[in-house]
Amino acid sequence: MSDQQAGGQDRTAATETTDGGIEELSGDREYRQGAVDLLGILAYGELTAFERLAEDGRLAPSLADKVHMATLASQQIEHFGRVKDRLATFGVDVMVAMQPFHVPFNTFHDYTKPKDWLEGLVKAFVGDGFANDFYREVAAFVDPETRTLVHEVLSDESHADYVVQKVRNAIDADRKVAGRLALWGRRLVGEALSQAQRVAAERDALTSLLTGTVDRPGMDLAAISRMFSRLVETHTQRMAKLGLQA
């Protein structure tokens, strides 16, 4: 966690004097575009998560499970609204900000359609967990208000206990389930990384948030590699919580 997080915080201290950190960003178009990209990813991610949770809810084994999924789905839209409002303060329409991320998200979801209720739960927990960790890493490099918003919309962990319990119960009832879901978890992360690479290649502004520019510090290659280690480590812990091998 230490070095590059600290780097992010140093930068923050320097910008927090102005109002919400937007003013001075207009002087750095690429920087601003990076923040807009992060918000655009979040917005489209929330929207596709809504659709997926609503659809997975149809597979729910009980009405209580259905209510749980519907509640989670509607939280995504509440978050979507907040991200949209933040984008508006940057003068950017949420529809425009989301546009570059349609293809990677849609491809990810097309390649990772859950075959049943349990796969849907694991996808929501493991897939979103991995993605959210990454968004938090990127958020260390944007203005304080955007960073706070990102952390707030990602902080809702109410789903975790629910998924952990359901998946563990299913494994207890049938040990074979563990092997199948472990494979599924690996595939989810593989597909997520492959789409993340696509985004990184296409969105220079987003990438340079992480890597920095001449007059703004970012991560060097070693730091980026450490970030990936952190992501993988947290992913492994998350799988372990479910009783699955990463």
Binding status of residue 78 toward a second copy by CB under 8 A: yes
Q: Under DSSP, is residue 141 helix (H, G, I), strand (E, B) or coil?
A: coil
CA 171, 176, 178, 181 torsion-angle sign: negative
Binding status of residue 186 toward a second copy by CB under 8 A: no
Q: How many CB atoms lie within 10 A of CB 26?
A: 11
Q: Which string of x and - marks every residue 31-50 that binds a second copy (by CB under 8 A)? A: ----------------x--x
Binding status of residue 77 toward a second copy by CB under 8 A: yes
Q: Which of residues 100-159 bind a second copy (CB under 8 A)?
A: 102
Torsion angle (degrees, nearest 10) of CA 218, 219, 221, 224 = -140
Q: Looking at 15-23, 53-61, 125-133, 233-241, which segment touches a second copy (CB under 8 A)? A: 53-61
Torsion angle (degrees, nearest 10) of CA 50, 164, 109, 138 = 80
**Residue 28 vs 55, nearer CB to a second copy:** 55
What is the token pair recorded at 16? 């927090």
Binding status of residue 55 toward a second copy by CB under 8 A: yes
Binding status of residue 81 toward a second copy by CB under 8 A: yes
What is the token pair recorded at 228? 């990936």
Binding status of residue 63 toward a second copy by CB under 8 A: yes
# chain residues binding a second copy, by CB under 8 A: 25
Backbone angles phi, psi at 141, to 5 degrees: -110, 10
List residues binding a second copy (CB under 8 A): 47, 50-51, 54-55, 57-58, 63-64, 66-67, 70-71, 73-78, 80-81, 94-95, 98, 102
